[in-house]
Amino acid sequence: MPAGMSAADFYYILPEIILALGAMVVLVADIYVPRESRGVVTWLSVAVIAATVVGVLAVGDPHVTISRGLLSIDAFGVFFKLIFLGSAALTLLMSGPYLTIEGTPAGAYCFLVLSATLGMMIMASGIELVTIFIGLETMAVAFYILAGYLKPSERSNEAAVKYFLLGAFSLGILLYGMSLLYGLTGTTNLHAIATAVADPEGANRQLLLLAVVLMAAGVGFKIAAVPFHMWAPDVYEGAPTPITAFLSVGSKAAAFAMLLRIFVEGLPAMSVDWRLLFEALAILTMTVGNVAAITQSNIKRMLAYSSIAQAGYVLIGVVAGTSRGIAATMIYLLVYGLMQMGAFAVIVMLRRRDAIGDELKDFNGLYFRHPVAAFAMLIFMLSLGGIPPTAGFMGKLWLFGAAIDAGYVRLAVIGVLNSALSLYYYIRVVVYMWLKNEPVGSEPRLSPALALTLAITLAGTLILGVYPRPLFEIAETSARALGAVAPAAAVK
């Protein structure tokens, strides 16, 4: 038994252990499963995720710090872990038919998705810089490979190379910031850092500020905040569609978990500085993302810019920084996961042997070809745009509410104007699907796994839009585990 670990510690990381072992079983199973029944591997991976979810729920929320302060097992982590596991499961469900069409083997693919999820889970529970970084690396490496998984596709290869180069670069910046912080405070534990930084006689403010900026830039790459977003559209367009979905939901949520851990838990004393920084990032990210999305004709690219803008909205919750703001961030990430996954499931559905199906014109008259898919996409687009009665509205309500509550009225105003702007391009998809009368392409068919994906995401988006009570209550409780920073000012 390693030094500093007790038997109880192993119990608390049971979900991670299940996932790690399960991922290896999947990798090995792929070799022994006959080629014609490869679908089994996908379902096996979903089963591994289900087992991990059971593990997460069984361990629950003991709110303990384990392994000498490496990991914190708390409600905050549980909430995020469930988002990661859910999005991984949805990704796998929509991957099966997609991979068959693309003609690529599933085994290593599923293994990589599970590894990425493992990395995310560590990011969400880590309360120590090195641990968080290891989680981040685990996730990132898996995604580098996944982005380039379609070997014959030039777009996919380009995506992988771009993602790898920029990702490695950003990790370097992040690591530099972390090392500065370690040098200034003499510790990598976030709680200890918080104490050290709170001491006004302590560390050098200028250098601390530099560390904050560098870390914010590093995290900014991962959440694709403007001006660190350049990679996102190319990577999102080129990567296999389910991976794009996973990247835009899972990876983004994990980066936000990390961001909240580092800044809210580790650097509350620097909140004046990082709030200013993230406020600027939020405004830029929302606006640039939305404006750029308007001009796109490729739907994956459009959703890439849209997801940049969505990250901008989520940043509003971070800037608010209050318990309400953190809860809003968490609520919105979950809600966003549902609608984004759903939208990508529809795109995957349109992928046929003879058509890539990700241009806007491929949605032409979708309503006449497949009314159910068109209806689902309508709901996802409205939800992304924040129109009730969808979950997206409830999420935005919390975000903007938190901003006003914390004194950031200006940010809320920019946020709502942006969401009005965003509807212009979301509605364009609806126009193509419902109002254009010249159906093109073949009849899309709904495989059982895709149907399940659509059903889950659609039901989630609609139910949480009408009755969000349970989600709100869970998120509020979970957010409290993290602590919070005080409101910036009274309502101006």
Partner 1 sequence: MSNTAGFPLLSLILFTPLAGALLLLFMPRRSETAIKWIANLFTLAGFAVSLPLWFWYDAQSAEYQFVERIEWIPSIGAQYFLGVDGFSVLLILLTTLMGFIAVLSSWTAITERLKEYYIFLLVLQTGMIGAFVSLDFLLFFLFWEVMLVPMYFLIGIWGSANRLYSAIKFFLYTLVGSVVMLLGILALYFAYHATTGQYSFDVTLYQQHNFAPNLQWWVFLAFFLGFAIKVPMFPFHTWLPDAHTDAPTAGSVILAAVLLKMGTYGFIRFSLPILPEGTRAFVPMMVTLSIIGVIYGALVAMAQRDWKRLVAYSSVSHMAMVMLGMFALNPVGIMGSIVQQLNHGISTGALFLLVGVMYERRHTREISEYGGLSKVMPIYAAIFLVMTMSSIGLPTLNGFIGELLILQGVFAVSLVWAGVAAAGIVLGAAYMLWLYQRTMFGKVENPKNEGLADVGFREFALFVPLIILAVWIGLYPAPFLNRLESSVARVVSRVSPQYATQSQTAPAAQGAQP
Residues that bind partner 1 (CB under 8 A): 382, 386-389, 393, 397, 400-401, 404-405, 409, 412-413, 416-417, 419-420, 423-424, 427, 431, 434-435, 467-469, 472-473, 476, 490-491
Which of residues 263 and 434 has its CB atom nearest to partner 1 in the complex?
Answer: 434
Shortest separation between residue 85's beta carbon and partner 1, angstroms? 25
Which of residues 110 and 403 has its CB atom nearest to partner 1 in the complex?
Answer: 403
Which of residues 28 and 424 has its CB atom nearest to partner 1 in the complex?
Answer: 424
Which of residues 253 and 382 has its CB atom nearest to partner 1 in the complex?
Answer: 382
Which of residues 66 and 482 has its CB atom nearest to partner 1 in the complex?
Answer: 482
Shortest separation between residue 333's beta carbon and partner 1, angstroms? 18
Bridge partner list, 189: 128
Shortest separation between residue 405's beta carbon and partner 1, angstroms? 5
Shortest separation between residue 381's beta carbon and partner 1, angstroms? 10
Shortest separation between residue 437's beta carbon and partner 1, angstroms? 9
Q: Are 249 and 340 in contact (CB under 8 A)?
A: yes
Which of residues 36 and 443 has its CB atom nearest to partner 1 in the complex?
Answer: 443
Pairing relation of β-strands 64-66 and 71-73?
antiparallel
Which of residues 164 and 426 has its CB atom nearest to partner 1 in the complex?
Answer: 426
**Alpha carbon distance 172, 472 (integer Å):** 37
Which of residues 148 and 468 has its CB atom nearest to partner 1 in the complex?
Answer: 468
Q: Are 111 and 22 in contact (CB under 8 A)?
A: no
Shortest separation between residue 414's beta carbon and partner 1, angstroms? 11
Shortest separation between residue 181's beta carbon and partner 1, angstroms? 35
Shortest separation between residue 341's beta carbon and partner 1, angstroms? 22
Sign of the torsion angle spanned by Cα atoms 182, 187, 193, 199: negative
Which of residues 165 and 431 has its CB atom nearest to partner 1 in the complex?
Answer: 431
CB-based burial label for 15 (10 Å; 0-12, 13-18, 19+): buried
**Alpha carbon distance 117, 364 (integer Å):** 35
Which of residues 21 and 491 has its CB atom nearest to partner 1 in the complex?
Answer: 491
* Nearest alpha-carbon partner for 151 in 160, 142, 143: 160
Shortest separation between residue 286's beta carbon and partner 1, angstroms? 13
Which of residues 38 and 480 has its CB atom nearest to partner 1 in the complex?
Answer: 480
Shortest separation between residue 233's beta carbon and partner 1, angstroms? 25
Shortest separation between residue 396's beta carbon and partner 1, angstroms? 9
